[in-house]
Amino acid sequence: MSRIDVCVAACADLFLGAGEILASPMGLIPQLGAKLARLTSEPDLLMSDGEAYLLGEYGIEGWLPYRKVFDVVAHGRRHVVMGANQLDRFGNQNISCIGDHDKPTRQLLGFRGAPGNTVNHRTSYWVPKHSKRVFVPKVDVISGVGHDRGFHNVHRIVTDLCVLDFATPDHSMRLVSTHPGVTVEEVLDNTGFPLHTDDAGTTREPTPQELELIDKLDPDHARN
Amino acid sequence: MTVRDKRMSAAEVAAELSDGMTVGIGGWGSRRKPMALVRAILDSPARDLTIVSYGGPDVGLLCAAGKVRRLVFGFVSLDSIAYDPWFQRVRQQGGIEVSEYDEGMLYSGLLAASHRLPFLPIRAGLGSDVMRVNPDLLTVRSPYDDEELVAMPALTLDVALVHLNRADRHGNGQYLGPDPYFDDLFCLAAKRRFLSCERIVDTAELDGPPQSLLTNRMMVDGVVETPNGAHFTSCVPDYGRDEKFQRHYAKSAADEELWPSFVDQFLSRGETGYQLAVQGMS
């Protein structure tokens, strides 16, 4: 078992209790997590192929071109796992640009769907490299909306080191668990703001059955 | 009397543009972009354009040629390559003005323009820096329950450019891939609408499911046959994205010393020269 398999299982656990909603995982690890959840705890999840189809157990089960994705976003039966170039302690996220918006030092993707996602439905984040570059005291441009700005459905953040959530009185970020072999200090050293760490546990390891499924889902080990 | 024949050339479409116009470009990212029409604009004198786009290399090429005064966008991406280097460069130089929105807000703005409404309400944008970086953007209160919503203004276009798989000479257009994107809305939101397509066929030959007929002729003012005209973006099922070429574009666009030879090789001898150079590369 490798660290990345722990991350996949942690991404699968993002969808616990989700039921019959659209899972929209961005990036390989969240995608493997959502597929693993569908094969284990959440068989009713819907998933798109990243183009225009819903792919079920037996192939295409629905049509979901981009304009219908916006319908689902507004309807709210969706849990997106987005990436983040920057995140602050209330879960505000930046994927737009670094620096001054009028003349950025680095142009990124743009707001994309982050503002709409975060005010309409549950949102989680996947951060492949937990660092102070990502976890900053203040994001340069608020794309995804955090807990201090009137919206309260930023669920969890899974990183290569740990799992984080916002289950604190003021909805600031809390360390839920460190992955096996990672210390709390290591997480704090790579985070640009204070974290609640009192109840931090250890992220669960995937079961043998889950490991087998992950290998089937990613036989070429693209995840490593 | 017969139904109007709207066939024209890409150069004739480009000649319809005048300085300062607002031009909407269909497709999505690096998918089914009217690239032959974009290339024709590169060769035209039009400048200071406001471009509205679910942005891909259309935006990059227009930025490279200095055609863009303002970009109205939600993202610019080459899909398999995250960022367009030319768009990044002009942004980082402060070279263009932008109206950056959530991508769903772009949909609302096009729909509002299509319906001749001044705005449509949407939740997207609330609480985010969409409101800060667009100081003209206002909210409204629902007259029914007082909920605050963003009033996304209509994105009314002077010109729309879209690319489909098939069309007849009258402007009845057909997409054969899985996603219509927002091409019909771009047409409805615009005063002048130009459709390029892989192949112009007789109306009777527009076979396939009738719901694949995305534009009807009252939504289109001109039809241009541009085989491989979405290259290097995808135009499935006619062809997928030319990933190798896109990598070459991105590499050239990221390096100011390489870019002149890209222009020389591909963008200096018209569409015929472009397509020949692309063939020569593969």
Of A65, A119, A142, the CB nearest to B124: A119
How many beta-carbon pairs under 8 angstroms link A with B? 126
- Confidence bin at A64 (pLDDT 50/70/90): very high
Q: Which residues are within 8 A (CB) of A145 and not within 5 positions of it... i.e. 6 or more apart?
A: A92, A115, A118, A119, A151, B126, B127, B128
A223 domain-assigned: no
Residues of B in Cβ contact (< 8 Å) with A27: none
Yes or no, beta carbons of A101 and B76 under 8 Å apart: no
Peptide bond into A169 cis (omega under 30): no
Distance from CA of B279 to the nearest CA of A (A): 28
- Residue B190 pLDDT: 98
Residue B95 pLDDT level (bands cut at 50, 70, 90): very high
Percent helix, strand, coil in chain B (nearest 5)? 35, 25, 40
**Beta strands A154-159 and A162-165, pairing class:** antiparallel
In 3-state terms, chain A is what percent helix, strand and coil (to 5)? 25, 25, 50
Query: Is pLDDT at A116 greater than 90 in this prediction?
Result: yes
- Angle separating helix axes A208-217 and A28-39, nearest 10 degrees: 120
Element (DSSP H or E) covering residue B48: none
Q: Which two tokens stand for residue B82?
A: 């995250």
Nearest CA in chain B to A64: B179
Over pLDDT 70: what percentage of chain A?
Answer: 99
CB-based contact A74 B102, cutoff 8 Å: no
CA gap B143, B148 in Å, rounded: 10
State the nearest Cα–Cα gap between B270 and chain A, in angstroms: 31
* CATH fold of B10-118+157-270: Glutaconate Coenzyme A-transferase (3.40.1080)
Distance of CA B105 to the CA centre of its chain: 16
Contacts with B181 from chain A: Cβ below 8 Å: 65-67
pLDDT of residue B248: 98
Cα gap A222→B118, rounded to integer Å: 48
Domain count, chain A: 1
Alpha-carbon separation of residue A181 from A7, A22, A101, A134, A205 (angstroms): 13, 33, 39, 22, 11
Structure tokens at A7: 């991350």
Are the beta carbons of A74 and B133 separated by less than 8 Å?
no
A168: tokens are 């604190």
In a domain, A162, yes or no: yes
Residues A119, A44: Cα–Cα separation, whole Å: 24
Q: Is the pLDDT of residue B2 over 90?
A: no
Is A222 a member of any domain?
A: no
Mean local confidence (pLDDT), B83-112: 98
Mutate to test the interface with B, among A111, A142, A147 (most CBs of B within 10 A): A111
Largest Cα span, chain A: 51
pLDDT tens digits, residue range B151-178?
A: 999 999 999 999 999 999 999 999 999 9
Backbone angles phi, psi at B6, to 5 degrees: -105, 15
Find the domain containing A135 and state its range: 3-217
Residue of B nearest to A101 (CA): B133
Looking at residue A151, its pLDDT comes to 67
Candidates A63, A64, A66, A98: best to mutate against B (most CBs of B within 10 A) is A66
The 10s digit of each residue's pLDDT in A127-153 is: 999 999 999 999 999 999 999 997 669
Please give the biggest Cα pair distance in chain B.
Answer: 63
Q: Give the containing element (helix H, strand E) for B162.
A: strand B157-167
Contact map slice: B 185-214 vs A, CB within 8 A? none
Structure tokens at B59: 């935006």
Please report, for chain B, the start and end positions of each structural domain, with discontinuous segments joined by +: 10-118+157-270
- The reply to whether B52 touches chain A by the CB within 8 Å rule is no
Specify the pLDDT at position B275.
98
How much is the pLDDT for A162?
A: 98
Give the residue ranges of DSSP H helices in chain A.
3-13, 28-39, 66-75, 114-120, 184-189, 208-217
Say whether the peptide bond before residue B232 is cis (omega within 30 degrees of 0). Answer: yes
Strands A93-94 and A86-87: antiparallel
CATH number of the domain where residue A33 is located: 3.40.1080.10
Distance CA B136, CA A186 (A): 44
Q: Give me the mean pLDDT over the A17-35 stretch.
A: 97
B240 contact residues in A (CB cutoff 8 A)? none
> B128, A142: Cβ pair inside 8 Å?
yes
Among B6, B8, B10, CA closest to B273: B10
Task: Name the residue facing B107 among A70, A96, A107 (closest C-beta).
Answer: A70
Q: Give residue A102's pLDDT band: very low, low, confident or very high (50, 70, 90).
A: very high
Q: Binning pLDDT at 50, 70 and 90, where does residue B29 land?
A: very high
Nearest chain B CA: its distance from A214 CA (Å): 24
Nearest CA in chain A to B72: A110
Average pLDDT of chain A is 97
Residue B282's pLDDT is 74
Determine the average pLDDT of the residues in A182-188: 98
Average pLDDT, chain B: 97
